[in-house]
Chains A and B, each alone.
Chain A
Amino acid sequence: MNFLALPCRILVWLLAFALAAQVTRAAEAPLRVLIFSGQNNHDWKTTTPKIQDILASSGRFSVEVTELPGQFDAAAGAKHDVVLSNWNAWGKNPDIWPESARKAYIDFIRGGKGLVIVHAGSSSFYDWEEYQQAAGASWKLGQTGHGKPHGFRVEAADPQHPVMRGLAPFLTTDELWRKPGVHPGAKVLASGDGEPVALATELGKGRGFTLLLGHSAAFMENEGFQALLLRGTEWAATGEVTLGPQPPVDPDAVLASVARYRFGADRESVRKLERLAQAASTGPAARKALAEKLLALAASPSATMEGRRQALWFLSLVAGPEDASAIRKLLDDKELNYFAQNALARLDAPRAWKNPAAMQAESEAAARALASTPGALFSMLSGNDRTRQAAALRAFRAYPDPDALKAVVAQFDQLPAAVQPQIVALLGDLATPAGLPVLAKAAASADPLLRQTAFIALGQAGNASIIPALLVALETAPGDERRLIAESLIRLPGEGVDEALAAAFSKSAPAVQRELVRALAAREARGAIPALLAVAGSSDAGLRAEAGAAIGRLGDIRLCSALIAMIESSPDGAGAALAAICRREGSVQPLLEAMAGAPPPKQALLLAVLGSTGGPQALDSLYAATKSEDGGVRVAAVRALAAWNGAEAFDVLVALTAAAGDPAGRTLAARGVARLAPQVSDRSPGQLAETLAAVLERAAVNEKKALLGALGKIGGPAALKVVEGCANDPALAAEARAAAEQIQGAARAGSAGKKRLGAASEGQMKLFDAPGNLVRLGAKATSPTGLQSDGHGDVPAAAIDGDGGTYWDEVDRQPLYRFRVQLAEPARVGLLRILGFQHENYAPKTFEILCDDKAVKTIVDARYEDNVLSVELPPTECRNVELKITGSYGASPAIRELGLFPASQ
């Protein structure tokens, strides 16, 4: 498609004025159009007159309309060149044509005349092959669809076809059919968003033109639509196209119309003038000619002020230097001053702005110059002009000069407080030993920003010598700052840091020791393992665990014997380290070797370690140990199996729930079964439910509750049956009910499928309908936390607007959200209802309900039903209701709709 062709063409008409083609055409006899109308599943009462008007006002056609196309016959055909169908038989009582009409219709086309279809004008007679062939395209039930009318671009698919030749792409707003039924013989002339919108057909000697656009009269206002309709109709009637791709524009008529333009009237003429100006702007002669006319209009006292302003506005596109003095004269007119200024400004445009590359080069040169003049740099840094400070800092950072560095370090205290943290950060980045004294001083500052910056900088620029100072700070600093210091310890560069950290253990308080262990682990200081082993035997449990984690991370299989030797004194520390090492190395051999011949208490400790290493060998050993002669060992083995990470232990545990002897073991096994059941994936929910039912039979009350929870997660009819079987047991009723609800909820969610991901269903929205819903009576919603609404989450009003597609929501992961509804009038509120975002996904979960700022109810772990939560409130007379939300499903509590209903009388 040649885009540049369009303005050139307009230009040609502009210059040609006479529009010879139009004149000749007017002399020809008009083409006779017969419009079929009177029945259509569209608004034919408005579209038919519109089509008639478009055709007739072109001067090329004479138009007749029939509302009874079933009466079409050869005589009617003889009086017309082309039939345009805005008629269809899509409806309850279609007017079905008699055989005579059918024959006359086909003969008409076959005999060499034309057919035009507009939009749904062919959605009839699906089993009449010739009709369909002539029509070329129609609505096909079960295949064709459309979205909401929207703006889309129409462009030629066959630019060489007479109808399309020279026609520029255009934007229209219309109903766009997706996948229309296209007859194989039809040729697509134009498409919109990839869908065919205009087609050509042949039948016998006749031609058909089908325009699928034109859903309503309003959409037919589009110029592109009109061009297609006119040219397509002409082509169908004659096989040729003489009408231009754009309606001819007479500049004088447009200017005359703009001269009468008043503010508030339709801007059709202004828009036409804009196009004229744009088209003229590309050619010197046309530009001059239009500029002259526009200047005359701008200065014309008989034109409206608004028209003169518009003339000046578009003059700004076509004016040349020769027009400047005339424009300047208009500056004195207060009403025109701005528009004259604009035309003059644009005459000068484009002004020279520095481009980013030039600006960058300039600023680099300046920075380099500044950086090499320490005196100037220091004086800029110590002044109070923030812009100059920023420039100096930037220069210093980009081109650090040793003399400037010396000056800054020596006179750091004299620098303004606002600059000091930035110097400290810079010294950190430079990592020069010269800066260390300043950093140490800043780390002891009373200003938290300076202090904190210094801690970070020390992590980049420090060395082992500053460890004692950091450790002192670590002991006394507030929580947030401790984290910064600890991170600095981890990053500290230089020789001997690991050793110095390890050596500092004995002299440090327990809290500091923990940080030291963490730092050594993060630094991967393997040399510190002996020191860490000593800490793993500490009497402080927290420290033991920390050291165990560190050793687990740094150690390898060679450490196992040392750790096994420690396991009795440090089951948490050494045990965790052992588990981590064996898991990582994929070997439990050292543990199994140690088990053999160990006394039962030690065996029990090793079994606990085996429980978290994973692997078939460990699982086998644990199972074997459940048959041990020692009761303590047996229970330890079951405990480890129950804590096993993975469904492999499930069957063993099921068996153990029935094992004779150890009641403690049976209890542990049942808990393990409940924990692992939802992870089992190698059998059906039905089989699983059956297994759990058997375990449930022999379990104690607490374990029964856990098993009901597992059944709720597994779901399915079999699980539901088991759960319902427990509903009558008073000790289990609550858990049974919760599980049943969960199973039913999941079933509903499954059947609702994708729909739930979108907006609300009709059924859901019914629950929020007026009458009754108090929020519909002029209530106002706010969220006083002032958080940012998130994504498409809109203003709070979105939650009370009756539109389930919109929702209120705020930024994710906040500790507190407040949502408040102010009623127009006080009311006795008895029920609150919420439609969340998705079922228990992004919805309020835990919240307090306040009426007039008094708490009336607290909801914990709200259970939604099909994404709807209904909460009965103690009847309360109030003016406002607030949700104080502290927990949500998903990362934030979105509310699609909120309803408040009066308490029943």
Chain B
Amino acid sequence: MSFVPVKPHPSRRRFLSQSAAAGAGLAFPAIIPSRVLGAQAPSKRVTLGHIGVGGQGSGLLGGFLGVPFGQSVAVCDPFADRREKAARRVEQAYAEERESASFKGCRSYNDFRELLARDDIDAVVIATPDHWHAPIALAAVRGGKDVYVEKPLGLTMEQNKALREAVHSHGAIFQYGTQQRSFSQHCGFACELVQNGYIGEIQAIHVVAPNGATGGTPIPEPVPEGFDYDLWLGPAPVTPYARDRVIGGGRWHIYDYAIGFIAGWGAHPLDIAHWGYPQIPVEYEGVGRIDTAGLFDTVVDWDVRGRYAGGAGFTLKPGSDLTTFVGSEGWVAAGRGRQTLAAEPASLLDVTFKPGQKRLLQTNNHYRDFLECVLTRRTPVSDIDSAVQSDFMSHLGDICIRTGRKIQWDPVKETIAGDEAAARMMTRALREPWTL
């Protein structure tokens, strides 16, 4: 079946029907329809701090600068040059917006704790290396701030649970960086087909994501001037500085800081799998490759197979970026690429939904959605509950590969059943003085 170009869906903004909401009881009801915040900005601006302004962090900064009712007032990065550049960029953008020669009002920080201590900041955008996502998000939420957190979620499953508990108990707004829920709207369309039974009973979900990387030069080097390596390492063990740990994508493939692309990229198609079918498999077994040369030591290639409680199958393999839902009456596949929507029968692609059918909340701007939610206390499109679950799938895949055993997941107790060593892998210590 060949892929067809995606048709634009006329309805760009859809509202969550209670029945379609995963964990509807936990979700805040839509308090103010978000179209309130139309072209005209509300009088209130959401003040933002950006923690981590490297590659992805600067992309997000640009995205948030484009939302009229956000105001970035602080940036933070252990690289002095990165944070200064980001601060200048913010001030220049606001100067241009105000048509004035200069604008002051964006402070830069090395240590995120100083940024979080400011009580004039409403929300923070966290785009740090993976091992910092949960600890910083936890500190922010406990300090009364709302959080936009890049994917993947926690370095361990325990971190996910801790963060979820804090988000719920503090009533914080949490948006996960799975931005294809907003920017690749055909994915939402595919999920709506699934949830409305257009492909019948779900028989299997197949997920592919790009495999990881091997290599990385482990030769120790002096820590560069203007870089706070100890703070960058934070809760991770101390190891000699090497460029490939920190610069470029190396940190995504080193087990001290991440579990590899099975989560780092897997997050995207797994998120779509969970969006369309809001549960996760209860059984996992898999094989994978872990390289022994160089710096990178996360699972590179993988072949994970699983089973959902209802009997549907699950596979997670390396590939492009695609989630395929196979049902008793057809299938639909969607991925991040613009051409990646396909279905059988092909007529499914022309479906228009009728009133009363399940619809998923869709926005066309992930950053704007977050800021609207900060103002209105609505639940964002990529909420904490689904973030935790889709990230669990990555972790369980990694754990079953590393143990070499079949893993049983207890979705009620949220633990690995009958395998103590595997259950222990849901936890890791944080280097002192950091805590969860």
Question: Do B8 and A397 touch (CB < 8 A)?
Answer: no
Which residues of A (242-282) have their CB < 8 Å from a CB of B? 263-264, 266-268, 270-271, 274-275, 277-279, 281-282
For A268, A364, A386, A790, the residue with the greatest tally of chain B CB atoms inside 10 Å of its CB is A386
Instruction: For B39, list chain A residues within 8 Å (CB).
Output: 479-480
**A449: nearest residue on chain B (CB-CB)?**
B42
Instruction: For B230, list chain A residues within 8 Å (CB).
Output: none
Residue A22, interface by CB 8 Å: no
Question: Do A357 and B412 touch (CB < 8 A)?
Answer: yes
For A344, A481, A787, the residue with the greatest tally of chain B CB atoms inside 10 Å of its CB is A787
Q: Which of B180, B404, B406 contacts A278 (CB 8 A)?
A: B404
Residue A126, interface by CB 8 Å: no
Known contacts: A350-B424, A387-B170. The answer to whether A151 contacts B211 by CB under 8 A is yes
Known contacts: A345-B429, A394-B171, A891-B8. The answer to whether A456 contacts B33 by CB under 8 A is yes
Bound complex: CA A479 to CA B44 (Å): 20
**B431: nearest residue on chain A (CB-CB)?**
A338
Question: Do A842 and B165 touch (CB < 8 A)?
Answer: no
**A363: nearest residue on chain B (CB-CB)?**
B168
Known contacts: A275-B404, A480-B39. The answer to whether A350 contacts B426 by CB under 8 A is yes
Question: Do B415 and A386 touch (CB < 8 A)?
Answer: no
Question: Do A386 and B144 touch (CB < 8 A)?
Answer: yes
Known contacts: A353-B161, A394-B28, A394-B171. The answer to whether A480 contacts B405 by CB under 8 A is no
Residue A125, interface by CB 8 Å: no
Least Cβ distance of A675 to chain B in Å?
26
Interface of B: prevailing SS: loop
Question: Do B171 and A338 touch (CB < 8 A)?
Answer: no
Bound complex: CA A456 to CA B38 (Å): 13
Question: Do B377 and A278 touch (CB < 8 A)?
Answer: no
A345-388 to B contact mask, C-beta < 8 Å, 1/0: 11111110111110110011000000000000000000001110
Bound complex: CA A346 to CA B423 (Å): 9
Residue A845, interface by CB 8 Å: no
Residue A786, interface by CB 8 Å: yes
A160-182 to B contact mask, C-beta < 8 Å, 1/0: 00000000111111000000000
The interface size bin for chain B is 35 or more
Known contacts: A425-B31, A480-B40, A841-B5. The answer to whether A309 contacts B171 by CB under 8 A is no
**B8: nearest residue on chain A (CB-CB)?**
A891
Question: Do A171 and B303 touch (CB < 8 A)?
Answer: yes
Bound complex: CA A422 to CA B378 (Å): 10
Residue B206, interface by CB 8 Å: no
Question: Do A171 and B43 touch (CB < 8 A)?
Answer: no
Q: Which of B211, B302, B429 contacts A338 (CB 8 A)?
A: B429
**B375: nearest residue on chain A (CB-CB)?**
A449
Residue B29, interface by CB 8 Å: yes
Bound complex: CA A425 to CA B378 (Å): 11
Instruction: For A393, list chain B residues within 8 Å (CB).
Output: 31, 377
Instruction: For A426, list chain B residues within 8 Å (CB).
Output: 31
Known contacts: A317-B421, A350-B424. The answer to whether A279 contacts B404 by CB under 8 A is yes
Residue A17, interface by CB 8 Å: no
Instruction: For B26, list chain A residues within 8 Å (CB).
Output: 356, 359-360, 363
Q: Which of B211, B337, B377 contacts A390 (CB 8 A)?
A: B377
Least Cβ distance of B403 to chain A in Å?
5
Least Cβ distance of A427 to chain B in Å?
11
Residue B47, interface by CB 8 Å: no
Least Cβ distance of B171 to chain A in Å?
3
Question: Do B292 and A153 touch (CB < 8 A)?
Answer: no
For B35, B162, B211, B366, the residue with the greatest tally of chain A CB atoms inside 10 Å of its CB is B35
Question: Do B158 and A349 touch (CB < 8 A)?
Answer: yes
Which stretch, B13-21, B106-114, B282-290, B343-351, touches the partner chain A? B282-290
Q: Which of A152, A264, A345, A452 contacts B428 (CB 8 A)?
A: A345
Question: Do A151 and B318 touch (CB < 8 A)?
Answer: yes
Bound complex: CA A452 to CA B421 (Å): 56
Instruction: For B416, list chain A residues within 8 Å (CB).
Output: 350
Instruction: For B279, list chain A residues within 8 Å (CB).
Output: none
Which residues of B (216-248) have their CB < 8 Å from a CB of A? 218-220, 237-240
Interface of A: prevailing SS: helix
Least Cβ distance of A206 to chain B in Å?
33
Residue A732, interface by CB 8 Å: no
Instruction: For B292, list chain A residues within 8 Å (CB).
Output: 266-268, 270-271
Question: Do A453 and B36 touch (CB < 8 A)?
Answer: yes
Residue B300, interface by CB 8 Å: yes
Instruction: For A173, list chain B residues within 8 Å (CB).
Output: 289, 301
The interface size bin for chain A is 35 or more
Which stretch, B59-67, B80-88, B127-135, B189-197, touches the partner chain A? B59-67
A830-865 to B contact mask, C-beta < 8 Å, 1/0: 000000000001100000000000000000000000
Least Cβ distance of B431 to chain A in Å?
5
Q: Which of B43, B240, B287, B420 contacts A449 (CB 8 A)?
A: B43
Question: Do B171 and A278 touch (CB < 8 A)?
Answer: no
Residue B175, interface by CB 8 Å: no
Least Cβ distance of A401 to chain B in Å?
17
Question: Do A792 and B289 touch (CB < 8 A)?
Answer: no
Question: Do B414 and A355 touch (CB < 8 A)?
Answer: yes
**A287: nearest residue on chain B (CB-CB)?**
B421
Instruction: For A499, list chain B residues within 8 Å (CB).
Output: none
Question: Do A360 and B8 touch (CB < 8 A)?
Answer: no
Known contacts: A317-B424, A346-B427, A349-B427. The answer to whether A152 contacts B303 by CB under 8 A is yes
Question: Do A6 and B404 touch (CB < 8 A)?
Answer: yes
Residue A555, interface by CB 8 Å: no
Bound complex: CA A150 to CA B39 (Å): 48
Instruction: For B318, list chain A residues within 8 Å (CB).
Output: 150-151
Residue B293, interface by CB 8 Å: yes
Q: Which of A263, A456, A786, A791 contacts B65 (CB 8 A)?
A: A786
Known contacts: A360-B26, A452-B36. The answer to whether A3 contacts B421 by CB under 8 A is no
Residue B117, interface by CB 8 Å: no
B366-395 to A contact mask, C-beta < 8 Å, 1/0: 100000000111000000010000000000
Question: Do B336 and A151 touch (CB < 8 A)?
Answer: no
Question: Do B293 and A266 touch (CB < 8 A)?
Answer: yes
B287-321 to A contact mask, C-beta < 8 Å, 1/0: 11110110001001111000000000000001011
Instruction: For B337, list chain A residues within 8 Å (CB).
Output: 791-792
Instruction: For B300, list chain A residues within 8 Å (CB).
Output: 151
Q: Could you list 29 A-B pairs, sorted by A, with CB under 8 Å?
A: A3-B285, A3-B404, A3-B405, A4-B406, A7-B405, A151-B303, A152-B303, A153-B287, A171-B289, A263-B218, A274-B402, A278-B403, A278-B405, A278-B421, A279-B404, A345-B429, A349-B423, A350-B415, A387-B170, A448-B40, A449-B36, A456-B32, A478-B40, A479-B39, A480-B38, A483-B38, A786-B62, A791-B337, A891-B8
**16 additional A-B residue pairs with CB within 8 Å, beyond A171-B302, A359-B26:** A150-B301, A150-B318, A171-B303, A264-B219, A267-B292, A274-B402, A282-B405, A316-B424, A349-B427, A350-B416, A351-B427, A359-B165, A387-B144, A390-B377, A425-B31, A449-B42
What are the 10 A-B residue pairs with the smallest beta carbon separation, nearest first? A151-B301, A786-B62, A281-B421, A390-B171, A449-B42, A153-B303, A342-B429, A264-B218, A353-B161, A171-B287
Chain B residues engaging chain A, CB cutoff 8 angstroms: 2, 5, 8, 23, 25-26, 28-29, 31-33, 35-40, 42-44, 59, 61-63, 65-66, 144, 158, 161-162, 164-165, 168-172, 179-180, 183-184, 211, 218-220, 237-240, 285, 287-290, 292-293, 297, 300-303, 318, 320-321, 335-340, 364-366, 375-377, 385, 402-406, 412-416, 419-421, 423-429, 431-432
